[in-house]
Structure 1
Amino acid sequence: MSVAKTRNAPVRVRFAPSPTGHLHIGSVRTAIFNWVFARRHAGTYVVRIEDTDLERSKKEYVDSISNSLKWLQLESDEPVVFQRDRSEVHVAAAKMLMKKGLAYPCFCDKAASGKPEEIGKKYDKVCCKKIYTEEDLQKPHCVRFKLPEDITEVAFKDLIRGEVKVALGQLDDFVIVRRDGSPTYNFVVVLDDIEMEISHVIRGEDHISNTPKQILIYRALGKMIPEFVHLPLILGPTGSRLSKRDGAVSVTEYRDQGFLPEALFNYLVRLGWAHGDVEMISREELVRIFNFDDVNKKGAMFDQKKLDWLNGVYIREATIARVIDAMTDVEPDGMKELREKWDDEALAALVEMYRSRASRVTEIVSGILNLARGPEDLNLSLIEKWRSDKTGPMLNDFYEFLANHETNDAKALLEAAKGVAVAHGAKLVGLAQPLRLAITGGVCSPGIFEIMLFLDESELLARVKALKTQLF
């Protein structure tokens, strides 16, 4: 059966997540490709919530998916469609197929029996030729789609993989309505895609086995078959499908860990799609050049280090206001504390310094909070490699300098520290790192003499004295 055809209808695509969990980044990439393709062809991108799994679907996940799409600016162009709202239409369509002899009731459903020896076997069509009455239909039964007898294969053109053929002998008279009266996935997605006038079905390659069945349903309903695009899977470090054991996998986790939505968007669209060596790409440029010819057929390996690097680039190139907004979204309590300690100008200056080495906005918040709060305990092992019998005396001399001089000039502080180090025959790092520990509680921070300026004199002296006291 050939499905070669041309379409003159406007491009309409849909992203159809199931609200059985938070939005997975693999699903996000599917949403991105749908969104970009729609924009590339001046089409329409619609979100459909596939909530027919009554047991697992939850409102909290609907809200989570909605918030994640909003965060990524992937909101639906039209009102969101909820699949459950169309259940009556789905059941009516099944009855219509039964009336036409294209589907039939099955009273011996092997899946319902649950017998291990039955599961996995092809259905023997024992109910296909049975004559049933209205009274029979009152008994528990499922509804099976009747495979056509006038074809031997189902073929379709995938816009990434080319022509795909599946022998009809590999298929079964598959269930379209379960015994509990609920329609199955393969049936309802076709009905809803028809109703929504979807022109292109863009989804993960894990759905490719569903496509022949769905094409048969389109054919039975006498409807135009959409174009199909099956995206390669996102793989974890071991080469298997990315999963929870590989680390964060949901949008909410990446948002909470301090990733910018524009960075995550950029990274995911480049995961399996390439256009030269360009790593960073704007949405506008992406829409202009996007083509499925540039999508790889093989699965794409998820690289957390590369995402961290890219997020860091976005953090450094963003406006300070944008970074502060992102910090506030992720750490509202921490940012409230920082705003109580410093005014907007000082906080902006600190963000500018701390973002230079950050790969996540949460690192900026935690770094500045460490400066604001000071160390609770001084872990001297952190400065072991720089510590010597000169450390205590150098700290004592620098403390005396701070106590007797103005501390509003970073260059003057640096020169004073250099002078102390030279006087003791030591390197500057031998004083700078202990000072960094005393002031921030760690040994990694922006320039220590620059960030000293953000503490008042008494606070600065108290922190240096605490370390000096512990060393003597």
Structure 2
Amino acid sequence: MTVKTRFAPSPTGFLHVGGARTALYSWLHAKNQGGKFVLRIEDTDIERSTQEAVDAILEGMTWMGLTWDEGPYYQTKRFDRYKEIITKMLADGTAYKCYCSKERVNALREAQEKAGQTARYDGKCRNLAPLDTDAAYVIRFKNPKEGSVKFADHVRGHIEFSNSELDDLIIQRTDGTPTYNFCVVVDDWDMGITDVVRGEDHINNTPRQINILKALNAPLPEYAHVAMILGDDGAKLSKRHGAVSVMQFRDEGYLPEALKNYLVRLGWSHGDQEIFSEQEMIELFSLDAVNKAPSAFNTDKLIWLNQHYIKTLDPAYIATHLTWHMANQKIDIANGPALPEIITALSERAKTLVELAASSRYFYEEFEQFDAAAAKKHLRPVAKEALILVQQKLQSTDDWTDATLHQVINDTAEELEVGMGKVGMPLRVAITGAGQSPSLDVTLRLIGKTRSITRISRALEFIAARELAQ
């Protein structure tokens, strides 16, 4: 039998970190087993579901590279199918109409809670003969009263619920719309889902769903309920911990490879290995190796992984992601070197793509002023002679290559009989505006001849202005 998993988010918000990890685990399990991965949008909460949230989920999944084999399916487009099944269940006696008012049900719940009992429907309408009335009703599933529901969870092992703890679940509201727990069951059945991977907050839904599946004589999927993710402080991950939306990580300059690698290790491990290629994840991942204890989010670890991928992935690939950040920072990449060259030059220093974009600005546009500390230290009258000489040599250089530019700087230092720093540091501040950059030969080459010479002239004017002011 072909393994088939699904990710079924509710479009009432963005794709958050917990959902993204669940999607990743579900996707990896399907890929590991040579199966299929289904995307289903569970939008039965019509009042809270939005198109914006749907778009954000699809964008987040696409950005992470979690491509789906089927879907996206939408529950709101399947209402006729749910109604068909509910009609059959009424006929079969596995569901019934309940005419109890909200007031009665609420009063019952309050009385049970006051008595220290579990709040549940008391089954008043369970065996009621069909009524010829226009009164409002809901439809409830006739849950078994005897026995228990047992299932083997891939993460948590044996789980058992007594049927006496479960009440008769509402499967259709008074307005005729089906409820979440019912729709999920029909969807998993119709879509041939064999393995359900979801958060531990769904454990209590599982026995109810299993009982409905049994009432429909439908095959039972296997289950894996993964633990929650905690913040750095040990509390449940929330907005106050910073980036919890997947696209916020994109906006903050993380690569999808880094986030995927980080999330897969947030509850699963393979020995001491920390860095996994996508293919390694697919080959090694196992639901049975997922830890049932909660995992704490560690931003420093994510940054470390992001640095690793910025340094090691193909610069041409990184450029496809960096382009967005360059545009976001309003840097015109048409006005300078090719992005892969910039990435090669700057990748050792950058933790995020946001940093990488910001630190590349001087390659594409003029800086407004010199860094005050760097200029005070290096753009002094004593540096004038070195800058004039190196500028003259650069003007007469047609071979604008790393080797030739390196030789120009060396020759200047030798002629003036000074150390390389006496030439290199003033030159670096002159052409970049600051005291840090990649190696000077690479920096000069990427900035280009005309810009480099013009910027040296500007630095000389700055030094002259300082002399006059003293």
TM-score by length of 1: 0.85
2:291 to 278, 291, 296: 296
* Structure 2 equivalent of residue 125 of structure 1: 123
Sequence identity, in percent? 36
Q: CA deviation at 1:87?
A: 0.9
Aligned pairs for 1:207-246 within 5 A: 207-246=202-241
CA distance in 2, matches of 1:228, 1:470: 74
1:86 to 2:81 alignment: no
CA distance in 2, matches of 1:417, 1:375: 27
8 Å Cα contact 1:110/1:119 also seen in 2 = no
Q: CA deviation at 1:272?
A: 0.8
8 Å Cα contact 2:234/2:296 also seen in 1 = yes
Q: CA deviation at 1:119?
A: 10
Bigger mean CA deviation after superposition, 266-275 or 112-121 = 112-121
8 Å Cα contact 1:110/1:123 also seen in 2 = no
Bigger mean CA deviation after superposition, 439-448 or 166-175 = 439-448
Q: Deviations over 1:310-359 (max 9, x none)?
A: 122112222221122221244347687132233x4xx5433211112222
Match of 1:396, SS?
A: helix
Equivalences, count: 450
CA distance in 1, matches of 2:465, 2:136: 79
* Structure 1 equivalent of residue 384 of structure 2: 396
Q: Which consecutive residues of structure 2, in runs of 5 or more, have no partner in the other structure?
A: 114-118
Query: Partner letter of residue 248 of structure 1?
Result: A
8 Å Cα contact 2:146/2:164 also seen in 1 = no
Query: Partner letter of residue 263 of structure 1?
Result: A
1:373 to 334, 357, 365: 365
1:406 to 2:394 alignment: yes
1:143 to 2:135 alignment: no
CA distance in 1, matches of 2:24, 2:39: 12
CA distance in 1, matches of 2:138, 2:458: 74
Query: Partner letter of residue 95 of structure 2?
Result: A
Match of 1:163, SS?
A: strand
Q: Which consecutive residues of structure 1, in runs of 5 or more, have no partner in the other structure?
A: 1-8
TM-score by length of 2: 0.85
Q: Deviations over 1:373-413 (max 9, x none)?
A: 34324452x449xx56x862334343333443327513543
Q: CA deviation at 1:59?
A: 2.3
* Structure 1 equivalent of residue 58 of structure 2: 66
CA distance in 2, matches of 1:406, 1:149: 89
Match of 1:80, SS?
A: strand
Bigger mean CA deviation after superposition, 89-98 or 221-230 = 89-98
1:159 to 2:154 alignment: yes
8 Å Cα contact 1:439/1:463 also seen in 2 = no
8 Å Cα contact 2:232/2:296 also seen in 1 = yes
1:272 to 2:267 alignment: yes
* Structure 1 equivalent of residue 343 of structure 2: 351
Q: CA deviation at 1:175?
A: 1.8
- What CA RMSD, in Å, does the superposition of the two structures yield over aligned residues? 3.1
* Structure 1 equivalent of residue 252 of structure 2: 257
CA distance in 1, matches of 2:129, 2:243: 54
Distance verdict in 2 for CA 1:459–1:95, change over 3 Å = same
Q: CA deviation at 1:187?
A: 0.8
Match of 2:168, SS?
A: coil
Distance verdict in 2 for CA 1:448–1:245, change over 3 Å = farther
CA distance in 1, matches of 2:91, 2:382: 93
* Structure 2 equivalent of residue 100 of structure 1: 92
1:48 to 36, 40, 47: 40
Distance verdict in 2 for CA 1:118–1:83, change over 3 Å = farther
1:248 to 2:240 alignment: no
Distance verdict in 2 for CA 1:284–1:333, change over 3 Å = closer
8 Å Cα contact 2:430/2:455 also seen in 1 = no
Q: CA deviation at 1:365?
A: 2.0
Query: Partner letter of residue 123 of structure 2?
Result: K
CA distance in 1, matches of 2:415, 2:301: 42
CA distance in 2, matches of 1:59, 1:199: 29
1:308 to 2:306 alignment: no
CA distance in 1, matches of 2:219, 2:278: 31
8 Å Cα contact 1:335/1:365 also seen in 2 = no
* Structure 2 equivalent of residue 183 of structure 1: 178
Q: CA deviation at 1:18?
A: 1.8
1:22 to 2:11 alignment: no
8 Å Cα contact 1:50/1:83 also seen in 2 = yes
Q: CA deviation at 1:370?
A: 3.4
8 Å Cα contact 1:394/1:420 also seen in 2 = no
Q: CA deviation at 1:297?
A: 0.8
8 Å Cα contact 1:375/1:439 also seen in 2 = no
